[in-house]
């Protein structure tokens, strides 16, 4: 899936660009995933494992792995967007948002909010009528963030290792 063009965000004097992640961004994205209170215990795999996963995502036309860069070209945020066609809710295509991380260095810049608004627009452009995500019950700051964006915490998210 192509992104049309890169998108630029100007926020409080700081400039960020939203891009489709490339293989060169992988190390920086995995570092963002690991620099997290829950992620640090989960992200211990070797790079070959992440490279394999990256290629699977990259080849799936319903997936978009996002890398956000700051003015110094550092990757400072990431999210994975998945388009899921479905029958329920009157044949709704769902925009699923996973693996959201924003670097500490950009907190308070408004980047998180701007990135989600951009993601919702991207979803609408691709036919999605519902955005959905889950977040760990312990991430109370994230719950407030999603509440401010208009999300409703209507569901319980269950997980089972296979």
Of 5 and 154, the one with the shorter C-beta distance to its own copies is 154
Structure tokens at 10: 């100007």
In the complex, the smallest distance separating the C-beta of residue 133 from its own copies, rounded to whole angstroms, is 5
In the complex, the smallest distance separating the C-beta of residue 113 from its own copies, rounded to whole angstroms, is 13
**Residues 14 to 43: which contact its own copies by CB under 8 A?**
26, 29-30, 33, 39, 42-43
In the complex, the smallest distance separating the C-beta of residue 123 from its own copies, rounded to whole angstroms, is 5
Strands 14-20 and 7-11 turn out to be antiparallel
**Residue for token pair 């319980």:** 156
* Rg, Å, the chain Cα set: 16
| CA-to-CA separations, 162 to 6, 45, 51, 140, 159, in angstroms, rounded | 37, 18, 22, 27, 9
DSSP helix/strand/coil, 81: strand
User: In angstroms, how far is the first alpha carbon of the chain from the final one?
Assistant: 29
Site stretch for its own copies (CB under 8 A), options 7-15, 67-75, 106-114, 130-138: 130-138
Q: Which residues bind its own copies (CB under 8 A)?
A: 26, 29-30, 33, 39, 42-45, 49-50, 52-54, 56-57, 60, 62-63, 65, 80, 82, 84-93, 95-96, 98-99, 120, 123-124, 128-137, 143, 146, 149-162
């Amino acid at each position: 899936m192509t992104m049309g063009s890169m998108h630029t965000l100007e926020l409080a004097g700081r400039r960020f660009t939203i891009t489709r992640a490339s293989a060169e961004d992988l190390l920086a994205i995995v570092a963002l995933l690991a620099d997290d209170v829950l992620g640090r215990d989960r992200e211990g795999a070797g790079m070959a494992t992440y490279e394999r996963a990256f290629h699977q995502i990259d080849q799936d036309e319903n997936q978009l792995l996002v890398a956000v860069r700051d003015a110094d070209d550092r990757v400072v945020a990431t999210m994975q967007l998945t388009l899921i066609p479905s029958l329920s809710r009157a044949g709704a295509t769902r925009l699923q948002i996973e693996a959201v991380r924003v670097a500490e260095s950009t907190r308070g810049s408004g980047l998180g909010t701007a990135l989600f608004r951009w993601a919702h627009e991207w979803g609408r452009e691709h036919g999605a009528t519902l955005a959905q995500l889950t977040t760990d019950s312990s991430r109370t700051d994230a719950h407030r963030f999603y509440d401010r964006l208009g999300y409703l915490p209507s569901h319980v998210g269950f997980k089972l290792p296979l």
